[in-house]
Structure 1
Amino acid sequence: MFQVDLIEKCKKNDRKAQLKLYNQYCNAMYCVSMRFLKNNDDAMDVTQESFIKAFRKLDQYKEEVTFGAWLKRIVINSCIDFLKAKHQNHLSLDESYVYISEDNDWNVEESISIDEIKKAIEMLPEKYKYVVMLYLIEGYDHSEISQILNIQETTSRTQLMRGKNQLKKLLIAEKNGTRH
């Protein structure tokens, strides 16, 4: 069965088609949730809720992007909403007045592993961590990040630059063995 046919059946509330589509994407979407939430139960809950949202809004899917990309956006937004609800007292500074120069140098020393980079990203303050994750790991640009996080593009650029600088410091400390 072609993806388009499967989606059309899902739009008509065909439960078997919905289960097939769910089984096709559930593991990948769970991995996306885990990257943000770091908790198995929370990731499973958010993934399930994301599929429910997706099936309810399936009529809004216009095939301008792949279904997986559309669903991934729902999952990421759900993760961010979950984290925001968990941290409602988080104060965000307006950084839109700052001019940022583009610095696309993400090179790190070859001796630093992917796992060390992921651990260092987890140590970043939340306002930097999510922008870095969306940009570096998920591949979104500043326009998309600004929409997802409901911030201005200049704020996204500022937080990415600052997050990248802190990430480099963390990785240097890791390499030199000064971090505990």
Structure 2
Amino acid sequence: MYAVAYRILGNGADAEDVCQDAAITAMARLTDLRDPAAAGPWLKAIVRNNCIVRLRTRLPVPVGLPDDSALMACADDPAEIIERHATRDWIWDGLMGLTPALRDAAILRYFTRMNSYQEIARACGVPVGTVRSRLSEARRRLAEALPETVAGRHRDVGALTAERREEAIALLSSVPSATPQAFFGGRWSPYAEIIWPKGDRRIGLSSLFEAFASDYADGVRYRVTNVVAGPDITVWENQFVNPPEDPDHCPPAATWLLRESEGRIQSVRLFHAPRPARVCDSDHSG
């Protein structure tokens, strides 16, 4: 694996990072491997895909793109990993062995669309260099821990994910008037802190429901696309379905980072996916 990565990237540190990422991806998708004799080519294919992603991040970012999130699209579908009960539970046991800082970075990197270093840095409120070091340490610890968790007994993360998905759909996909604030009284702290994409902070759910009602009145709908659930952190991802007459009303998608304590959500941080760069046609005269 390292030989393949080094031949493509020509950099030892990058090759090591890619191999570590590939090992974790392979562990998560182990049920994809039907023929043990094909393990070598399968692993090398994962390495090559990761190398392509790494090479793309080295390219200059075109004017108009705020960061490299569009270039960091991962070939592996996180939803597939989450839906595999046989692997999901033991992977989460490995993740829960990490410190909260390492776990948050790893969850965002491997299980959500928010997988660029810049986006993770914004979500965690730390410099990009800190994200790199946290992910490196998380990979090292997971590489040691995951093989030991495979044979053990695991909590049913699938049931927790299903429960959290229902919660996300109830809040994001229904008519605002049909989801009264009292509905969330058992799960949401009345003093939950809501942090909006531009950094505005509000206490309580009122600002959420006001935003939902405003978008709904303007013809915007939300479609839940992914939910990642752990004992004290949940990530929601949704697409915005804008009205045909106003296709740019909302950004393409959003990521919600929900943190909880003692079973109640204490803070929600919301991030919007960057809008795609506009391509302007030049006026060519004969």
Higher relative contact order (CA 8 A, sep 6+): 1
Highest CA radius of gyration, 1 or 2?
2
Q: TM-score range by the shorter chain?
A: 0.3 to 0.5
TM-score by length of 1: 0.39
Q: Determine which structure has the larger helix proportion and give its number.
A: 1
TM-score by length of 2: 0.25
Q: Determine which structure has the larger strand proportion and give its number.
A: 2
